[in-house]
Structure 1
Amino acid sequence: MGRPRTPLIDRARITTAALELVDAKGEFSVVQIARKLGVQTGSLYHHVDGRDGIVELLRERVCEAIDASMFDASPWDAALAAWARSYRAAFAAHPRAIPLLMASPVRAPRVLEHYERAVGLLLDAGFALADVMRVIIALENLILGSALDLAAPEPMWELGDDQRDTPRLALALAAAPLGRADAAFELALGACLEGFRALVD
């Protein structure tokens, strides 16, 4: 039988299959991807560099949704805030990918380019070189934590019918606005930016 005119697998199909598995189960294996695509496991290795290569393809796929044009905006703090919101939305769409991606170093060239532009934005804004990665990592901690929070149930605290042991918590929860994850993210982002401005000043 001759070769099919359209390849059964390529890097894009492998990435899609892996991401579907991660979204459903929080994990993937090369065998599972091959089974999902209806090919032999060995066929995948003609297209990707094993499991680590697939992880980097996943990182690139998720990060494609981040709007890198934000780095061309000004002032720097508005650009950084817009990037943070776009970054959060991209990872909130695939929260189960976060632990997987955080367990391995970033190698994907297109993702490293995002970091290069973020570093350039901060250096051009006047940040000291020693502060640049601290700022980026602090912001990422906020972004990824909030992306996970978006996947959590909206009523995160269940007090039960008898609230005598937690009366102040009950009042605070009743007074909290809807969309707690968004409100908390904006509050924390504002606090971060205020701290970052102090570093430049």
Structure 2
Amino acid sequence: MARPRTPLLDRERITTIALQLVDEQGDFSVPQIARRLGVQTGSVYHHVDGRDGIVELLRERVASVIDPGTLSRTPWDTALEAWARSYRAAFAAHPKAIPLLMTSPVRAPRVLEQYERAVTLLLDAGFAPADVMPLLVALENLVLGSALDLAAPETMWELTPDAPTPRLAQALAAAGEGRTDRAFELGLEGLITHARALRVHAP
């Protein structure tokens, strides 16, 4: 039997097209995916659990490039810093996906497994259970905010004569290139420093 000219519809192709749409426009619809794949909308639903299922496939795809080995490093703060940098790089590649993924519950098993490893890292390091999730959420806020910043225009402050801001102009000139990377490293250093203090006082 001759091979079909078009590859059979599957979850991988659906995810690829959905991610292309998100990269282009910040969102997707199932009919849009079907049109790009040249199939009926109902055919897409045969492979995924609706829109929510596609969102979770996107989450798995974007998060799949986060290096899982970072959470096996020692000591714990080295592991957490390396994980944060890998996490930032993964989402910086698809910044328009961030609002979509961060406003829906996490259900993807492989992503939940990565959170489990991060939580285990902190608990095994001696953190109090009540401090673990606030610390991880704070880290995510830093990572995802910085990933969005990487996609922002190089000039985010447009100074005009109508609103004289000489001190802002001075600070911007002094910042030079690499502002986003330096801001991320500054925030990460502050968060890790605070985490070390939390661990000292953990029971």
TM-score range, shorter chain: over 0.9
Equivalent position of 1:171 in the other structure: 170
The TM-score with structure 1 as length reference comes to 0.95
Residues 154, 180 of structure 1: 8 Å contact kept: no
Task: Give the secondary-structure state (helix, strand or coil) at the position aligned to 1:159.
Answer: coil
Equivalent position of 2:113 in the other structure: 113
Q: What aligned pairs does 1:20-169 form with structure 2 within 5 A after superposition?
A: 20-160=20-160, 162=161, 165-169=164-168
Alignment-mate amino acid for residue 85 of structure 2: R
Deviation at 1:45, TM superposition (A): 1.1
Structure 2 distance, partners of 1:144, 1:165, is 32
Task: Give the secondary-structure state (helix, strand or coil) at the position aligned to 1:198.
Answer: helix
Residues 15, 54 of structure 1: 8 Å contact kept: yes
Task: Give the secondary-structure state (helix, strand or coil) at the position aligned to 1:153.
Answer: coil
Task: Give the secondary-structure state (helix, strand or coil) at the position aligned to 2:158.
Answer: coil
Change (3 A) 1:94 1:128: same
Deviation at 1:164, TM superposition (A): 7.5
Deviation at 1:39, TM superposition (A): 0.5
The TM-score with structure 2 as length reference comes to 0.94
Structure 1 distance, partners of 2:143, 2:51, is 26
Structure 2 distance, partners of 1:82, 1:48, is 33
Deviation at 1:179, TM superposition (A): 1.2
Which segments of structure 1 move beyond 4 Å, counting only runs of 4 or more?
Answer: none
Task: Give the secondary-structure state (helix, strand or coil) at the position aligned to 2:172.
Answer: helix
Alignment-mate amino acid for residue 105 of structure 1: P
Deviation at 1:4, TM superposition (A): 3.4
Equivalent position of 1:197 in the other structure: 196
Identity percentage over the alignment? 73
Structure 1 distance, partners of 2:114, 2:50, is 24
Deviation at 1:8, TM superposition (A): 2.6
Change (3 A) 1:36 1:151: same
Listed one character per residue, the Cα deviations across residues 80-129 of structure 1 (whole Å, up to 9, x for unaligned) are 00000000000000000000001110000000000000000001110001
Task: Give the secondary-structure state (helix, strand or coil) at the position aligned to 1:47.
Answer: coil
Structure 2 distance, partners of 1:155, 1:31, is 37
- How many equivalent pairs are there? 199
Residues 163, 170 of structure 1: 8 Å contact kept: no
Listed one character per residue, the Cα deviations across residues 26-65 of structure 1 (whole Å, up to 9, x for unaligned) are 0100000000000011001111000000000000000001
Structure 2 distance, partners of 1:5, 1:185, is 47
Structure 2 distance, partners of 1:21, 1:164, is 39
Q: What aligned pairs does 1:11-22 form with structure 2 within 5 A after superposition?
A: 11-22=11-22
Q: Which runs of 5+ in 1 are unaligned?
A: none
